[in-house]
A and B are shown apart, each in its own frame.
Chain A
């Protein structure tokens, strides 16, 4: 029987309640290298579907209710428990450091959009028009990245020590930046108050807030 892993926590991590995971498989608690891990027994690697992705996340969210684990990326299936345990043991030190980093914290997402962004395919009516359209797009992409960095820095300054860590991705195509903030559970109220007051200072942009999430962006 193979084994599918959802997330890893400390040895003190709570065991799962009665819960169905990917492909309806029961979720159970396992231990390896001093960690507590939520897993399901699966005969084969799960098919990547939207339902499976949702099921994976639902299990990780359940595991995050009271303590913060490190989420595994979708698709971490092993042919045997022995192979899985070996893999955990090989990464014991890194997993321990990462668990310490996310301890008692949650991830929040901020997507910064430019509603004025010009979408669409480049003009192909002539070679010159096409090349000019590509050059215009390249300039716009560079401008978007610069604005994304600027807004991300301004947000970070606003939030100060409320953000334990952050990941900034400069996406392009109208999304100036996609930011993940790692926030301690006891700071969530103040974080939420401060970040939601920021969009009124930048009416030319649109801000999309999501969270709390398990710390996928900080599980490295």
Chain B
């Protein structure tokens, strides 16, 4: 299984893996009790956190691209 690395240094394939991971862990898997599933608002918070993380990494990539130019 893949090792976790610093978020800011994640290459593209690791970012894809992160998105796939969140999709799996929050949306699939055995549900024992519907009433203990985290709230929709809670799930939205995780996805918001993920989007912010990915947006931050894209900004970092653009900055690196400018430096490389």
Neighbouring B residues of A57 by C-beta, 8 Å: 21, 24-25
**In the complex, are the beta carbons of B1 and A73 less than 8 A apart?**
no
Task: Give the contacts of B22-43 with A (CB-CB under 8 A).
Answer: 22-33, 36-38, 42-43
Neighbouring B residues of A181 by C-beta, 8 Å: none
B61 CB to nearest chain A CB (Å) = 17
**In the complex, are the beta carbons of B49 and A5 less than 8 A apart?**
no
Dominant secondary structure of chain A at its interface with chain B: mixed
Decide yes or no whether A217 CB sits under 8 A from chain B. Answer: yes
Partner pick for B36 among A47, A49, A78, A95, CB 8 A cutoff: A78
Number of residues in B with C-beta < 8 Å to the partner? 29
Count CB-based A-B contacts (< 8 Å): 99
Partner pick for A49 among B16, B23, B33, B45, CB 8 A cutoff: B45
* Size class of the A contact interface (CB-based, 8 Å): 35 or more
Closest to B1 in A: A61
Dominant secondary structure of chain B at its interface with chain A: helix
Closest to B32 in A: A87
Task: Give the contacts of A168-220 with B (CB-CB under 8 A).
Answer: 178, 208, 210, 212-213, 216-217, 219-220
Contact (A53, B36) CB under 8 Å given A73-B25, A111-B16, A210-B20? no
Decide yes or no whether B63 CB sits under 8 A from chain A. Answer: no
| In the bound complex, CA of A75 to CA of B37 (Å) | 6
| In the bound complex, CA of A70 to CA of B20 (Å) | 18
Partner pick for B46 among A53, A77, A212, A217, CB 8 A cutoff: A53
A36 CB to nearest chain B CB (Å) = 14
A175 CB to nearest chain B CB (Å) = 11
Contact (A72, B29) CB under 8 Å given A50-B53, A53-B22? yes
9 example contacts (A-B, Cβ-Cβ < 8 A) are as follows A47-B42, A58-B4, A73-B26, A73-B27, A76-B33, A77-B36, A210-B16, A216-B28, A216-B29
Which residues of A does B touch, CB under 8 Å? 5, 8, 45, 47-50, 53-54, 56-58, 61, 64-65, 70-78, 84, 87-88, 91, 95, 98, 109, 111, 178, 208, 210, 212-213, 216-217, 219-220
